[in-house]
Amino acid sequence: MRMANKTAAEKLATIQQGYTLEGATIELGAAIVDGEVHKEAQVRLPLSMMNRHGLVAGATGTGKTVTLHMMAEQLSTAGVPVFLADIKGDLSGLATAATASEKLTARTVALGQDWSGRNFPVEFLALGGDGNGIPVRATVTSFGPILLSRIMELNDTQESSLQLIFHFADQKNLELLDLKDLRSVIQFLTSAEGKAELENLGGLSKATAGVILRELVGLEAQGLEKFFGEPEFDTAELLRTAPDGRGVISCLELPTLQTKPMLFSTFLMWLLADLFEELPEAGDLDKPKLVFFLDEAHLLFNGASKAFLEAITTTVRLIRSKGVGIFFVTQTPKDVPADVLGQLANRIQHALRAFTPEDAKALKATVSTFPVSDYDLEETLTSAGIGEAVITVMNERGAPTPVALTRLRAPESVMGPSSAELVRSTVASSALLVKYGTAVDNLSAYEKLSGKAAVPTGAAAPGLPPVPASTTAYDIDAEARRIEEEILGRPSSRPAPQAPPLEVPPAPAPEPRRAGTRSSGTQHDGGGLGDLTGALGGALGGGLKSMARSLGTQLGRELMRGIFGNSSRRRR
């Protein structure tokens, strides 16, 4: 709604007063009033309010990526670490100083921006080494059954069954580090040797376990097994600062996003969930510990189950108190569920298009989410230029600032990719390469069930159960045969494998914790999670309720060890 009968000077004064802030800020740009840029009316975002989360939205090509690029630079300068997902491949330019041009100088002078080309401390990451960055991996246990169900697109019943499988692995000391570990556990439960164990689980049917196995084999066929395993990425690496005090910008390279969108979005939620589990309560801070930019946010919510959406909402609501700010980057606010959108206090809305009736409906919905302003927002949002945005943020008193059409500041590093040579040399010189560069395959469920571990038979090695030398692994042919016959209901032409009996090893006595590993058990180191039981019960949804009916409240409590059912970390 537009307030009538205000002069340009009065509108300008409203903006100036609304963005006069006392503490440290992120400078966003200069206000545009009645078509003119006013560098005396600077639009800014309080650094202390960055953990109130935000939304950067707008149609394709309107400048969203440049906006988060510019914000990341200033956060780094303020000593705040930043996480970015580099979907288009052009955020690596943060590591290269930009050079001035006549056009750039004219823009920055008009904005009142004191511009100079600079590079910033960047750490290049890549999911499972799928790219040039430091490999980022997670163990299956820490990823948890809810997030894994999301990747495998399981329904609620299958998700509940997967949680039971995780519980079985926990109780039998079968570490789930990579996909072959989970596959081995399911193979055992669906085999004749595991029949008794399957029946003891109560709420898990052989048919459903077989369907999960089929989906798991499908993930492996797509090459996704390299994203799961060890060494697992310690999310505390995202909280580092450079020797000069600037925040490190962790840039996750995603060269194959289009072929693995579900994996991308779900892996980002694992990072957030893991941070939530690890970080202590921080309360209100002068600046956040980390700002997390979730680009292409619609991928996170498309087709998501109720349990998954509730878990995201819980994470966004509660991680603020840990000092972490999340900015969702997407095309329209309607890409974000209302329960999440309501928690995003800082809004940077680039231009929207209204070419279709659906576009027009989205435009009206977007306008309705802004405070009353001096702008005709429907007109403003459809006519804003590239590098301009309608902004309202939370001021230091926790109230929304006046809506301001803003011409945004220019980044000081390259708005495009850095050279491949620079990226390679940065990765090669990173201290993280030694820690995460080479995948390892430690003793876990696969080795224990298949007998392929390099452990002497007879007496157990320290902390490990005896392993019978005669046991061999079921191979992929055995999986396919069982799936075809028992799940798909048709005979298999594959020869039946001769598999020796399998015995689940007994749980060993507790062993001293090893640095650099995670627990597959259900113990938790605290961190205030007990106070969240009510919220997390909703996050786990109907799947957990059905399991509790079968297994009792004790199992229910054990499975609620993380917002997404993920395991807690052993402290490093």
How confident is the model over 92-117, as pLDDT tens digits?
Answer: 999 999 999 999 999 999 999 999 99
- Residue-level pLDDT at 77: 98
Q: φ and ψ at 408, to 5 degrees?
A: -80, 150
Q: Look-up: residue for tokens 């803003």?
A: 406
Which of helix, strand or coil describes residue 458?
A: coil
CB of 173 within 8 A of CB of 181? no
Question: What class has domain 24-132+241-426?
Answer: alpha beta
Helix extents (H) in 222-337 = 261-278, 298-301, 306-319
Task: Centre a 10 Å sphere on the Cβ of residue 60 and count the other Cβ atoms it contains.
Answer: 8
CB of 158 within 8 A of CB of 149? yes
Q: How far is CA 547 from CA 183, 212, 367, 428, 555, in A?
A: 21, 17, 43, 47, 8
Q: Give the tokens for residue 483.
A: 């799936």
**Length of the chain, in residues:** 572
Mind listing the pLDDT tens digit for each residue in 229-280? Answer: 999 999 999 999 999 999 999 999 877 666 677 777 788 888 988 888 889 9
Distance (Å, rounded) from C-alpha 33 to C-alpha 198?
68
Q: Over 60: is that where the pLDDT of 1 sits?
A: no
Which residues are paired to 97 by β-bridges? 413
Domain residue ranges of the chain, discontinuous segments joined by +: 24-132+241-426, 140-229+446-451+475-488
CB of 473 within 8 A of CB of 466? no
> For the residues 483-500, what does the mean pLDDT come to?
51
Q: Please, which residues have CB within 8 angstroms of residue 109's CB and are 6 or more apart in sequence? A: none
Rounded to the nearest 10 degrees, the angle between the axes of helix 179-189 and helix 206-221 is: 150
Give which of 39, 29, 92, 102 is closest to 65, Cα–Cα: 92
> For the residues 459-475, what does the mean pLDDT come to?
37
Question: Mean pLDDT: which of 332-341, 352-361, 537-546 is highest?
Answer: 332-341
- Residue-level pLDDT at 566: 67
Termini Cα distance of the chain? 54
Which of helix, strand or coil describes residue 209?
A: helix
Q: What does the mean pLDDT of the chain come to?
A: 80
Distance (Å, rounded) from C-alpha 566 to C-alpha 518?
11
Distance (Å, rounded) from C-alpha 541 to C-alpha 524?
21
- Better-predicted residue by pLDDT, 41 or 540: 41
pTM score: 0.79
Q: How confident is the model at residue 481 (pLDDT cuts 50, 70, 90)?
A: low
Q: Please, which residues have CB within 8 angstroms of residue 561's CB and are 6 or more apart in sequence? A: 522, 524, 529, 567, 568
Distance (Å, rounded) from C-alpha 554 to C-alpha 550?
11
Distance (Å, rounded) from C-alpha 459 to C-alpha 19?
71
Q: How far is CA 526 from the centre of its chain?
A: 22
Distance (Å, rounded) from C-alpha 76 to C-alpha 82?
7
Q: Look-up: residue for tokens 């301009």?
A: 388
Q: Over 50: is that where the pLDDT of 45 sits?
A: yes
Distance (Å, rounded) from C-alpha 178 to C-alpha 229?
5
Question: Mean pLDDT: which of 1-5, 268-272, 454-458 is highest?
Answer: 268-272
Which strand ranges, in their side-by-side order, compose the sheet holding 36-46?
Answer: 36-46, 25-33, 404-408, 388-392, 346-349, 54-57, 324-330, 290-294, 82-86, 249-253, 122-127, 134-136
Q: φ and ψ at 331, to 5 degrees?
A: -80, -45
Q: Look-up: residue for tokens 């580099």?
A: 86
Specify the pairing of strand 122-127 against strand 134-136: parallel
Specify the pairing of strand 54-57 against strand 346-349: parallel
